[in-house]
């Protein structure tokens, strides 16, 4: 009987947790709808049927088609034969979007994966004025959702295929999933990873896989590494475990959608934001959610420098990008999958692209709520959710963001911290080279928190200042008001807050070399606290000219300032410095100063 097959397949795959009760109930509702020949109806997560006139018909399951072509579920034997496996693989290559519902509910993931929490994000909810839930896929055994698809694919291979070995190409997270699955299933595996893969992911693959798993670094990006993996399949007969463009992998990732809807039974759920690289997780979640709870939007999020799915949907075909950025390396894919494109093009409601600064800010937001440092790709959904809410003025809705991975390379934290503060604004300001102008400029910025202050003497008339600060909170016009105040006081300003050259390079090079007569260089340290920089500047109320000034707030407990003073040899300066009350070191004879801040022979 079909109903017997349904329960047998679902219970066998889902175990005895509360999740499979939901899966069985949904499956039975679908079965009942099919038996009633409701060819144009659907069923939501709590069993209510509804008519397509209430929504977009393209998002509905055609139950008559399912019934006429194949049963909703197939019986699974404990020992699958080689022939059965090959037939299933062949038939699933061009699987229809309707067919994924069966595969998702039949997916075998919970031997290796866990059912992750749907965590309420208190701070983010208050910040966005919406109810925000984080689906914590970063808490999986490999700290990424990828274990689901990898294990679901490999557990369905024959013993002969496992013994002969599998090969996978991955930027890291899929590789860890394959490595752990290979260890659990006692299979040989070769993991091909791009050369730029973070060390934490390479080491994690080795730790998860053990002696039967080889890590092979090859190529500058995913696509070049994939060519090596394809060679191993062709020349050595190994089985490819594709990271996204495989129906069994897509189905494994789709179990995330099952868990989300189970947790939201009887509760509102308006939007689910999903990270997208090759599209496996996005296709899997959309395949389930849009068949079961069609009024919930599924929105994909991509990095702006690797937006392959966005470009493909716009063109109506799979598009190969000329190049991809590597900051969000877990989602850096030049060519998305044919299977994932077909599903996403039909079922995904919208795509959102975010830039590097928005991803860094999302990592910070994730840490504030979940106390986890997400990797860049793992924070894409949070970044996309924030951008979408702010761009569309959405309030009072319930939305889920998938925190898809936390395999962050520690060396990247410095960059993330530098770029995460979206409130920081940067101005290039021209001030007159006269005594007191320096303090006057700062007094117009105060009490706003100054995060960077860079100046270098250039000529006798005007000085160029690079200053970064955080506008006052709860005042959307504070930055514009500050700029207007500066201009009224004859300080010419240029906003470079979104200038990539200024943020990435010039802020570290501002000033450069100069020939300043009688200049001496000093490093000062003072306890970092609100107003500390202002107090330091006030203490420098002296008759000598300040020819260089650099301050950057790094979040340390001590503020560090580099100051150049035109004074030459002067006993009064020594007395002044000793009574200043701040720790200082003279750097006039430092070779770094001579090489990079002082012009040779008076020539710039």
List the beta strands (DSSP E) in 471-568.
492-495, 519-527, 545-552, 558-566
Q: Rounded to 5 degrees, what angle do the CA atoms 562, 567, 570 make?
A: 115
pLDDT confidence of residue 71 = 31
Pairing type for strands 462-470 and 271-275 reads unpaired
146 included as an active-site residue: yes
Please report, in angstroms and rounded to a whole number, the separation of the first and last CA atoms in the chain.
88
Identify which of 338, 380, 378, 332 has the alpha carbon closest to the alpha carbon of residue 224. Answer: 332
User: In angstroms, rounded to a whole number, what is the distance separating the alpha carbons of residues 30 and 36?
Assistant: 10
User: What are the boundaries of each domain within the chain?
Assistant: 1-76, 118-143+248-418, 423-596
Residue 19 and residue 259 in contact, taking contact as beta carbons nearer than 8 Å: yes
What is residue 466's three-state secondary structure?
strand
Per-residue pLDDT of 298-323, as tens digits, reads 999 999 999 999 999 999 999 999 98
User: In angstroms, rounded to a whole number, what is the distance separating the alpha carbons of residues 560 and 556?
Assistant: 9
Q: Select which of 106, 170, 187, 404 is catalytic.
A: 404
User: In angstroms, rounded to a whole number, what is the distance separating the alpha carbons of residues 461 and 466?
Assistant: 17
Identify which of 329, 226, 347 has the alpha carbon closest to the alpha carbon of residue 283. Answer: 347
DSSP assignment of 337-358: -HHHHHHHHHH--EEEEE-HHH
Identify which of 243, 195, 191, 190 has the alpha carbon closest to the alpha carbon of residue 218. Answer: 195
Q: If residue 134 lies in a helix (H) or strand (E), which one and from where to where?
A: strand 131-135
- Fold match between domain 118-143+248-418 and domain 423-596: no
Q: Dihedral through CA 61, CA 67, CA 73, CA 79, nearest 10?
A: -140
Sheet holding 131-135, edge to edge: 118-120, 131-135, 398-402, 271-275, 297-303, 350-354
404 included as an active-site residue: yes
User: In angstroms, rounded to a whole number, what is the distance separating the alpha carbons of residues 82 and 403?
Assistant: 37
Alpha-helical runs (H) found in 437-477: 437-445
Cβ-based burial of 247 (10 A; exposed 0-12, middle 13-18, buried ≥19): buried
Residue 403 and residue 411 in contact, taking contact as beta carbons nearer than 8 Å: no
pLDDT confidence of residue 29 = 55
**CATH number of this structure's domain 118-143+248-418:** 3.40.50.1100
**Greatest pairwise CA separation for the chain in angstroms:** 100
User: In angstroms, rounded to a whole number, what is the distance separating the alpha carbons of residues 451 and 231?
Assistant: 51
User: In angstroms, rounded to a whole number, what is the distance separating the alpha carbons of residues 139 and 116?
Assistant: 7
pLDDT confidence of residue 23 = 54
Topology annotation, domain 423-596: 3.40.1020
Counting as low any pLDDT under 50, the low residues of the chain are 1-18, 24, 31-91, 602-604
List the beta strands (DSSP E) in 219-324.
239-240, 271-275, 297-303
Residue 215 and residue 252 in contact, taking contact as beta carbons nearer than 8 Å: no
Pairing type for strands 545-552 and 449-456 reads antiparallel
What is residue 374's three-state secondary structure?
coil
What is residue 191's three-state secondary structure?
strand
Neighbour count for residue 484 (Cβ, 10 Å): 12
Residue with tokens 């047998």: 8
Q: Select which of 103, 135, 146, 364 is catalytic.
A: 146
Its pTM stands at 0.73
């Amino acid at each position: 009987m079909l109903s017997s097959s349904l329960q047998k397949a679902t219970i066998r795959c889902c175990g005895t947790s509360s999740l499979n009760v939901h899966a069985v109930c949904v499956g039975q509702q679908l079965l009942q709808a099919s038996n009633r020949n409701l060819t144009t109806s659907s069923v939501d997560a709590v069993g209510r049927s509804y008519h397509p006139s209430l929504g977009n018909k393209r998002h509905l399951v055609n139950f008559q088609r399912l019934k006429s072509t194949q049963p909703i579920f197939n019986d699974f034997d404990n020992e699958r034969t080689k022939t059965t496996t090959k037939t299933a693989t062949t038939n699933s290559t061009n699987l229809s979007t309707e067919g994924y519902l069966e595969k998702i509910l039949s997916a075998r993931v919970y031997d290796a994966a866990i059912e992750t929490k749907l965590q309420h994000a208190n701070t983010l909810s208050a910040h966005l004025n919406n109810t925000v839930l984080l689906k914590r896929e970063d808490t999986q055994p490999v700290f990424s959702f990828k274990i689901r698809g990898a294990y679901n694919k490999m557990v369905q291979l024959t013993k002969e295929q496992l013994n002969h070995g599998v090969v996978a190409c991955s930027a890291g997270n899929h590789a860890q999933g394959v490595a752990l699955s290979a260890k659990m299933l006692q299979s040989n595996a070769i993991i091909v990873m791009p050369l730029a893969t973070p060390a934490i992911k390479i080491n994690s693959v080795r730790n998860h896989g053990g002696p039967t798993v080889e890590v092979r670094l090859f190529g500058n990006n995913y696509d070049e590494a994939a060519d090596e993996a394809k060679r191993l399949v062709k020349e050595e007969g190994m089985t490819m475990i594709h990271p996204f463009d495989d129906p069994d992998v897509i189905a494994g990732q789709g179990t995330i959608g099952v868990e989300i809807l189970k947790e939201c039974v009887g509760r509102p759920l308006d939007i689910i934001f999903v990270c997208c690289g090759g599209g496996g997780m996005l296709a899997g979640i959309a395949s389930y959610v849009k068949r079961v709870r069609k009024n919930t939007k599924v929105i994909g999020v991509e990095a702006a420098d690797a937006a392959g799915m966005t470009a493909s949907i716009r063109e109506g075909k799979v598009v190969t990008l000329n190049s991809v950025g590597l900051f969000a390396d877990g989602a850096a894919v030049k060519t998305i999958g044919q299977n994932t494109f077909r599903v996403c093009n039909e079922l995904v409601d919208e795509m959102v692209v975010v830039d590097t600064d928005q991803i860094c800010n999302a990592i910070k937001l994730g840490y504030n709520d979940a106390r986890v440092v997400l990797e860049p790709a793992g924070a894409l959904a949070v970044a996309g959710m924030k951008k979408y809410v702010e761009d569309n003025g959405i309030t009072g809705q319930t939305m889920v963001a998938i925190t898809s991975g936390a395999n962050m390379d520690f060396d990247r934290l410095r960059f993330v911290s530098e770029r995460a503060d979206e409130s920081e604004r940067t101005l290039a300001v021209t001030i007159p080279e006269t005594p007191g102008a320096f303090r006057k400029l700062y007094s117009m910025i105060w009490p706003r928190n100054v995060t960077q202050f860079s100046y270098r003497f250039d000529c006798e008339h005007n000085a160029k200042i690079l200053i970064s600060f955080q506008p006052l909170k709860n005042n959307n016009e504070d930055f514009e008001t500050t700029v207007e105040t500066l201009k009224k006081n004859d300080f010419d300003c240029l906003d470079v807050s979104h200038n990539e050259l200024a943020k990435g390079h010039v802020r570290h090079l501002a000033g450069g070399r100069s020939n300043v007569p009688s200049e001496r260089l000093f490093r000062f340290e003072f306890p970092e606290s609100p107003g500390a920089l202002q107090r330091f500047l006030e203490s420098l109320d002296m008759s000598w000219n300040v020819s260089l000034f650099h301050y950057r707030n790094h979040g340390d407990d001590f503020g560090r300032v580099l100051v150049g003073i035109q004074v030459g040899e002067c006993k009064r300066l020594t007395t002044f410095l000793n009574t200043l009350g701040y720790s200082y070191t003279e750097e006039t004879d430092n070779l770094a100063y001579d090489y990079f801040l002082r012009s040779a022979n008076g020539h710039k």
